[in-house]
Structure 1
């Protein structure tokens, strides 16, 4: 088998993974709990964003979220509540969606930017947990800041007023989602790497030596 065929197969696999995580984000986004006093629902789409970031290379994680936003912007009902269209993407709560690619990039860069599988595999579990926790917290802060700034601009409310309706009520549930990603999805990543089912680096390591 020549190198061109190998590259073609890898590209097809990568495209498939991007499509899969785009679909996962769309499905998870429908698990949303509306809150009476705020236009922002409790959404489990964030879990899918972090899942793509934890299990994909940085650029693939970003692509999966860009595809998700593009589908929604084109009118496909992939956003929470089976919404779609530019009104949903650029409406008052759209800022919380638009930062998805940035969030995915931050977390994936922290975990999956090594050039070889051996480098990924050699990291201790403690280091991986610490890196994932810090990266996810940073990504979540960006979610809060970017989404709230957008909400404030589009509604005319002050930034603090927007925080009180779109951030503060969600912090307890967000902490639960973050802990789930760190203690459930990150260990899955480690097992997939160990069994060769997840190849994040450019080269496969030889552990027979």
Structure 2
């Protein structure tokens, strides 16, 4: 009986942590900075996801992000610029929203396998590779929507964001493990 209570308590804590991550996405993702050369704004979504990989792991973060997407598709203003609705997903920046799924899956794959001497290098590689997949998917959709060549799409939807994303990845590599350790204690405690 006691182990059943402990298991239920652990599941409840995990669900609460997932709900909190969804809430953080809903609060921080709409905060965006439009840039003149692109329809794609600078957003904190990828930073939240980079850190979320540490906190939740792949499957729970994926579930949390899908709930966020569904809230936005239903019309809640949780996407960049406080927008929502299916039109946002079908518009020029919708490929990046879908591409974040690849970021989660690829980054999470490398996070779950990072151990030993090369732990930090594998984590950084996973975040970079996941970001590259997100950018590839997002840029292809942007090019399709705006009738751009792939090279033009890179200059509109990727290159202006690389310095900021480098900073976000470095920040996640520092903050992520710290939050992971602190929340692991919370999830283990009864």
Verify same fold: TM over 0.5. yes
Aligned-pair CA distance for 1:108: 2.4
Q: Which structure's CA Rg is the greater one? A: 1
Q: Structure 1 unaligned segments of length 5 or more: list them.
A: 114-119, 205-209
Query: Aligned pair 1:105/2:96, yes or no?
Result: no
Unaligned runs of 5+ in 2: none
Structure 2: how far apart are the matches of 1:184 and 1:104?
A: 17
Matched, 1:175 2:166: yes
Match of residue 6 from structure 2: 6
1:158-190 Cα distance to aligned partner (Å, 9 max, x none): 111111111111111111111111122233324
Supply the distance in 2 between the matched residues of 1:57 and 1:43 (Cα, whole angstroms): 22
Task: State the 1:58 CA deviation.
Answer: 1.7
CA RMSD of superposed structures (Å): 2.1
- Picking from 148, 152, 155, the partner of 1:161 is 152
Task: Give me the TM-score of the superposition, normalised by structure 1.
Answer: 0.82
1:142 aligns with 2:133: yes
- Whether the 8 Å contact between 2:10 and 2:187 is mirrored in structure 1 is no
Q: Name the CA distance, whole Å, in 2 between partners of 1:190 and 1:132.
A: 16
Aligned length: 189
Q: What secondary structure sits across from 1:144 in the alignment? A: helix
Task: Give 3-state SS (helix, strand or coil) of 1:78's partner.
Answer: coil
Between Structure 1 and Structure 2, the one with more helix by share is 2
Aligned counterparts of 1:58 and 1:198: Cα–Cα separation in 2: 16
- With the length of structure 2 as denominator, give the TM-score of the two structures: 0.89
